[in-house]
């Protein structure tokens, strides 16, 4: 529907593609990697029906946005989000991050605060950290990141097929909770992304958002699938809830990583119930 300029690479502007639908209190949807805003299709209609203004966009390098060679660190991605919100003059918004989008959400609040934010939702969260540690033994380390980047270099399309299997738990859900056609469309969206951007994002898995989430002072919802093979619930959703104990927290039984597709009704039920809650008179997680 539109584009905004967030930077310049050599002779060309860096533009973000966005869609801005409906009216009412805004909900801004931040997609996961290596997908784009099309992955929110099953949330778009319920949100509009509920009377919300829905803004979704493709991060740089993905979907219909520009494909620069760099700028895939969370500071830059959060700055892109800030430019979007500022350009569209969005306020009193609910920011909904999924997977890599939760990193953008956390870093945005950590950097820019919550002046424009009414509430926030973390779905399959990277925060507080996905880096392997004593507190998170199932997290990623530099060797994991390097192996993923090498697989992308060697045969990105073959690697995507394996990845999509784990994003949706296709061995369990194909033909039941996700059709072959939908799985193929998601593979197509991921394959359509910039190979440079796809390879550039995994180092962000090692980012620490502990300080960022300390600045969250608005109502917050955390949703995590119990069967997430990418970001295991013990180290991610449950740890974030421990760090934000006043946040709403809901585990979706059997939910894989992209449960917004396979378990859309369950995700939408929790999301819409959260959005219906009245804003508190004073800020508080």
Residues known to be catalytic: 99, 228, 257
State the DSSP H helix or E strand holding residue 172, giving kind and residue range, or none if neither: helix 170-173
Q: Are 58 and 65 in contact (CB under 8 A)?
A: yes
- Non-local (6+) Cβ contacts of 91 within 8 A are 26, 115, 116
State the DSSP H helix or E strand holding residue 252, giving kind and residue range, or none if neither: strand 248-252
Sheet holding 53-57, edge to edge: 2-9, 12-21, 53-57, 26-30, 93-99, 117-125, 220-225, 248-252
- Residue 279 CA to residue 283 CA, distance in Å, equals 9
Q: How many other β-carbons are positioned within 10 Å of the β-carbon of residue 223? A: 26
């Amino acid at each position: 529907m539109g584009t905004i300029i967030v930077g310049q690479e050599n002779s060309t502007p860096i533009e973000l593609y966005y869609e801005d639908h409906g009216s009412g209190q805004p909900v801004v949807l931040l997609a996961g990697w290596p997908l784009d805003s099309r992955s929110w299709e099953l949330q778009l209609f319920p949100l509009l029906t509920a009377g919300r203004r829905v803004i979704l966009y493709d991060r740089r390098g993905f979907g219909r946005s520009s494909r620069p060679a760099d700028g895939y660190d969370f500071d830059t991605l959060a700055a892109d989000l800030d430019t979007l919100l500022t350009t569209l003059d969005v306020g009193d918004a609910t920011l909904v991050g999924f997977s890599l989008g939760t990193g953008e959400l956390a870093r945005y609040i950590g950097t820019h605060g919550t002046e424009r934010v009414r509430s926030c939702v973390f779905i399959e969260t990277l925060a507080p950290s996905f880096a392997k540690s004593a507190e998170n033994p199932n997290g990623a380390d530099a060797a994991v990141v390097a192996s993923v980047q090498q697989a992308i270099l060697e045969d990105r399309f073959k690697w995507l097929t394996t990845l999509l299997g784990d994003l949706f738990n296709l061995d369990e859900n194909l033909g039941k909770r996700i059709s072959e056609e939908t799985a193929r469309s998601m593979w197509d969206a991921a394959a359509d992304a910039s190979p440079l951007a796809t390879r550039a994002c995994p180092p962000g898995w090692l980012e620490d958002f502990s300080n960022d989430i300390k600045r969250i002072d608005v109502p917050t919802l955390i949703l995590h699938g119990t069967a997430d093979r990418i970001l295991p619930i013990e180290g991610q959703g449950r740890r974030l809830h421990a760090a934000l104990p006043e946040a709403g927290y809901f585990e979706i039984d059997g939910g894989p990583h992209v449960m917004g597709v396979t378990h859309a009704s369950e995700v939408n039920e929790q999301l819409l119930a959260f959005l219906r809650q009245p804003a508190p008179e004073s800020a508080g997680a």
